[in-house]
Chain A
Amino acid sequence: MRAAWIIAKNVIEESIRKKEIYVLFILSVAMMSVVAMASFFSLTGLIKYFTELSFLIITYITVIIAVVVGARQVPTELNSRTIYPLMAKPLKRSEFIIGKWLGTSLISIFCFLVFEGIFIVLLFSKGSGISCILIQGIFLHILQIMLISSIVICLSTFMTNAANATVSILYFILGYWIGKAISDALDNCGAFLAWILRSINYILPHLDYFDLSKKIVHQWQPVPAWVIITVMIYAVVYISIFLLIGTLKFQRKQL
Chain B
Amino acid sequence: MKGKEAQRHRGTEFLLCAFATLCLCALLLEIPLQFYHYSAVSSVSAIPGGEIISKVLGGVFSGSADLLWLKTDEYLHKGVTEHSHCHILEEAGIGGHAQHKHEHNHKHKETDHRHELKYNRLDMLFAKLEYNLKPNITEHLHSKREDELMPWFKLTTMFNPHHVRAYAVGGYWLAYRLGKIDEAIKFMKEGIENNPDGYQISTQMGIVYFSRLKNYKKAQYYFEKALKSQAKMDEYDKAGILRFLAFSHKFQGHTQKAIDCYKQVLSLFPENKRAVQIITRWEQSKE
Is A255 part of the contact surface with B, judged by Cβ < 8 Å?
A: no
Can you list, as one digit per residue, whether each of B125-152 has a CB less than 8 Å from chain A (1) or not (0)? 1101110111100000000010110111
Most buried by A among B18, B148, B174, B178: B148
- Contact B15 A40, beta carbon cutoff 8 Å: no
Q: Which of A87-95, A148-156, A219-227 contacts B (4 or more CB under 8 A)?
A: A219-227
CA distance A254 to B201 in the complex (A): 69
CA distance A223 to B178 in the complex (A): 32
Chain B residues near A180: list those with CB within 8 A.
Answer: 82, 84
- In the assembled complex, how far is the CB of residue A216 from the closest CB belonging to chain B, in whole angstroms? 9
- Contact A209 B133, beta carbon cutoff 8 Å: yes
Q: Assess A162 versus B125: contact at CB under 8 Å? Given A41-B154, A169-B19, A179-B130.
A: no
Measured CB to CB, the nearest residue on chain B to A170 is B22
- In the assembled complex, how far is the CB of residue A63 from the closest CB belonging to chain B, in whole angstroms? 10
Residues of B in contact with A, size category: 35 or more
Is A158 part of the contact surface with B, judged by Cβ < 8 Å?
A: no
Chain A residues near B148: list those with CB within 8 A.
Answer: 46-49
Is A82 part of the contact surface with B, judged by Cβ < 8 Å?
A: no
Contacts A41-B180, A166-B15, A230-B129 given; 5 further ones with Cβ under 8 A? A40-B150, A43-B150, A43-B180, A46-B148, A46-B151
- Contact B11 A162, beta carbon cutoff 8 Å: yes
Q: Assess A209 versus B79: contact at CB under 8 Å? Given A41-B174, A165-B15.
A: no
Q: Assess A166 versus B18: contact at CB under 8 Å? Given A43-B150, A179-B84, A179-B130.
A: yes
Can you list 9 A-B pairs with a CB-CB distance of less than 8 A? A43-B150, A46-B147, A161-B11, A162-B14, A166-B22, A169-B18, A215-B79, A230-B129, A231-B129
Is A26 part of the contact surface with B, judged by Cβ < 8 Å?
A: no
- Contact B84 A218, beta carbon cutoff 8 Å: no
- Contact A179 B133, beta carbon cutoff 8 Å: no
Chain B residues near A174: list those with CB within 8 A.
Answer: 26
- Contact A179 B125, beta carbon cutoff 8 Å: no
- Contact A214 B79, beta carbon cutoff 8 Å: yes
Query: Contact check: which of A169, A179, A202, A218 meets B79 at CB < 8 Å?
Result: A218
Measured CB to CB, the nearest residue on chain A to B187 is A41
Residues of A in contact with B, size category: 35 or more
Chain B residues near A201: list those with CB within 8 A.
Answer: 126
Measured CB to CB, the nearest residue on chain A to B74 is A214
Within 8 A of B (CB), among A160-215: 161-162, 165-166, 169-170, 173-174, 177, 179-180, 183, 201-202, 206, 208-209, 211-212, 214-215
- Contact B133 A223, beta carbon cutoff 8 Å: yes
Is A217 part of the contact surface with B, judged by Cβ < 8 Å?
A: yes
- In the assembled complex, how far is the CB of residue A136 from the closest CB belonging to chain B, in whole angstroms? 10
Chain A residues near B18: list those with CB within 8 A.
Answer: 162, 165-166, 169
Can you list, as one digit per residue, whether each of B62-104 has a CB less than 8 Å from chain A (1) or not (0)? 0000000000001100110010110000000000000000000
Chain A residues near B11: list those with CB within 8 A.
Answer: 161-162
- In the assembled complex, how far is the CB of residue B77 from the closest CB belonging to chain A, in whole angstroms? 9
Can you list, as one digit per residue, whether each of A230-242 has a CB less than 8 Å from chain B (1) or not (0)? 1100000000000
- Contact B79 A217, beta carbon cutoff 8 Å: yes
- Contact B132 A224, beta carbon cutoff 8 Å: yes
- Contact B78 A218, beta carbon cutoff 8 Å: yes
Q: Assess A41 versus B132: contact at CB under 8 Å? Given A161-B11, A215-B79, A218-B79.
A: no
- Contact A162 B122, beta carbon cutoff 8 Å: no
Query: Contact check: which of B15, B135, B180 meets A162 at CB < 8 Å?
Result: B15
Chain B residues near A162: list those with CB within 8 A.
Answer: 11, 14-15, 18
Query: Contact check: which of B129, B133, B150 meets A215 at CB < 8 Å?
Result: B133
- In the assembled complex, how far is the CB of residue B174 from the closest CB belonging to chain A, in whole angstroms? 6
- Contact B132 A227, beta carbon cutoff 8 Å: yes
CA distance A115 to B132 in the complex (A): 26
Can you list, as one digit per residue, whether each of A5-47 has a CB less than 8 Å from chain B (1) or not (0)? 0000000000000000000000000000000001011110111
